[in-house]
Structure 1
Amino acid sequence: MTMLSTIGEPPELKKYSNPQRAAALLLALGKVYGAPIWEQLSTEEVKEVSSTIAQLGRLPSKAVEYLLVQFTSEVSSMASLHGSFETTERLLTGMLSDERVREIMEDIRGPSGRTMWDKLSNVSEVVLAAYLRNEYPQTVAVILTKLKSEHAARVISELPGDFAIDVIQRMLRMEPVQKEIVAEIENTLKSEFMTNLARSQKRDPHELMADVFNALDRATEEAMLSALENCNPDAAERIRALMFTFEDLANLLPASIASIVKNADKRMMALALKGAPEDMRVIFMNAMTERAAKMLREDMAAMGPVRARECDEAQSGLVRLAKILADRGEIVLVDPKSDESMVY
C-alpha cells in the first residue's frame, strides 16, 4: 500500500506506523468494502496485515476518519487502480474450471458475444470504424460481411468517403473466403483490437468512489464528502456528479418505479417516503394500486415522528435496491451524468 499523507493528521495518529495505518484502514472498511483490497494481497501480506490488526488495540475515531478521508482522496485522484486482467484471472483460477475461466476472461476483455462477430456487433460503430480505417480495404470488406447488416451500414457511414466506396466495391465482388484467412482475421481482432479496447475502458476511480459513497448512510456520506472537499474539491465535485441519489429515482420510467415498489420492503418504503417531498411520494404512489397507496399513507401516519436518519437510511436502501434490479436487467436506470434517457 502507498504511504498515506501525514499533512494535517491528528496527533493521535502520529505514533502509528504505515503497516498499522494500513491495518486500521482495512479494519474500518470491513468485509464488504475491504474485500477487493484483500484479494490483491499476497499470502504473506495477508498474514502481516492480519497480525497487525490483532495487535492494533483501540484507535480514536478522529484517527479513523482521517485515514478514510485520506484514502478516498488518494483513490479518487489516482490515474488507475491496481486491478488488471491478469490479477482477475489469477483470482478466478482455482475457484472455477480452466474452461470457465477462459470463457469469463474472453467476455470481460471485450464486448459480450459468443463469437468474435457477435462481439464486434456490440462495439460502437465510431470506435470500430476508427480501427478499420487503418486496415486494408479487402480485410475490412471481409470483416463487414461477417457483421449484422445494420451494424455494417453504420460502420460504413463512419469510414472516409473514398475508402468506404472501395470497401463496398470489394464487398460486391467478394468470393467465398478461405476458413484459414477468416480464422487469422479473428485471431488478429482478438489479440489486438479487443484487448486494447477493453484496456482502454478502465473504470474511472471517481465512479468507484461514487458507488462507495452511495452505499454509505446519508450522514456519513455528507461528512466524508465535506471533508474531501476541503482537501480535494475537484475530486469531491466529480464524485457528487457521478453519484446516483434517491432524488434521481424520480427520473425512472414508471415501469422501473413499479418494479422497485414491488420488490421493496414495506417499512423501508414507508420510511423513505415519509422523509421525501410530496412530489416524490406521488411518483411512487402512482406506481401502486389505489388501495396499496392508501395503506402506505396510513402506515406513514401511524409511525408518528421518526428520526431523519432512519428516513435517510431507508432512501439509501431504495437506491441500493434499484441498482440491484438494474444489475439483474429488470429495470433501466437513468444515468444522472448524461442527457440521454437510457442507461445503466
Structure 2
Amino acid sequence: MPITTFNPGPATTSAAVLMLMFGEKTAADVMRHLTPAEVQHLGAAMYAVDNVTEDEVDSILEDFLGRLAGETGIGYGTSAYVSAVMTEALGPDRAQSVITRISPHNNDRPIELLDWMDARSISELITDEHPQIMALVISCLEYSQGAEVLTKLPEEVQPDVIRRIAQLGPVTPEALRDLEQVLQRKFKASTSSSASQIGGIRAAARIMNFTRSGVEARILRDIRKDDRDLMTAIQDNMFVFDNLGKSDDRSLQTLLRSIEPERLVLALKGADEVLRDRLLSCMSSRAAAGIRDEMEAMGPVRLSEVQEAQKQIVASARQMADAGTIVLAGRGGEEMV
C-alpha cells in the first residue's frame, strides 16, 4: 500500500481506509467523537493512503466487522444514564454536586478551543495581552505545549508569566468568562459549576521542565531577583535528570529503550557515578558496555550540550509518565506521576 512521507501504523492506516469508505456524512459523524489529536493523526493518515488493493480492503473490512461483532454496547450513553439516575435518586442540586466531582469530563481543560490550536497560533493570540491573561491561557494547556507557547512569547515577559502561573489558585467560572471576552469570544465558555484548579507551583514547574536549559536558567534567575522563595519552590517541584534514579526498574527500562543511544551517552557524561550505574543497570550488559565505550571515546563535551541532552530525556520521561507508559518518582512531595 504505497503512501506519502507520513508513515502511520497499520491500525491507523486501517482506520483511514475505513473512513474513506464510509462516505462524507458517516466519516464526519465519526470525526465529531474524536479528540483534536486523533482528528489530526487520522486526517494525516487519510491523506497518506494511496492505491489500496481489493484484497487489502477485504482484509480491513473483515477485521473491522469481527471487532464490531465482539462489542456489547455496554457503556454507550453512560454519562446521560448516570446523570439521570443520580438526579432521580438525589435531586438535581445534590446530583450535580456529585456528578461534578466524579465525571471524567471534569478533567478537560477549561477552554476547549485551545486543543485545536498550535503553539504559534496561541502565542500570536495572546502576545499583546496582559501577562496575567498569558498565564491563564498557558495554564490551560498541556505542559509541553505550554512550554512551547511560553518560549514564543517575548523574552522579557516570560519570567513574569511563569511567576504568575506559580501564584495562580482556583479560577472561578466568572473569571474564565472574563477571559473569553478578552480573547474576543474565541474560546469555549466554562460550564463547570465549581472553580477550576489551574496553574500553581507544580504547573509552573512542569512547564519549565519542557523549556530548553538556557531558557529555564534565564527565567529562574529573573524570578529569583524578585522572589527567591518562589524560585526555590518552582525549582523544588521540577523533575530533573538526577531524579530518574529514584524510579523503578521497569519504568527506566521502558524509558531507556525510547532514547537514542547518542543522546543517552551525552546525558550520562554529566551524571554522577551512582546515577550512571543505576541507569546502565537497567540495560543489558552488552548495551551498557557499549554506552560506556562510547562515553570514553567521546572525550570532553560542553556542559550546555550535556544539560540539553538531559533536559530532552526528562521531557520524554514526563510525556511518557503523563501517558501512563511509565511511573516516575517525583520531587516536592509528589511521589508518583
TM-score, normalization by structure 1:
0.48
| Higher RCO (CA < 8 A, seq sep 6+) | 1
TM-score under structure 2 normalisation?
0.49
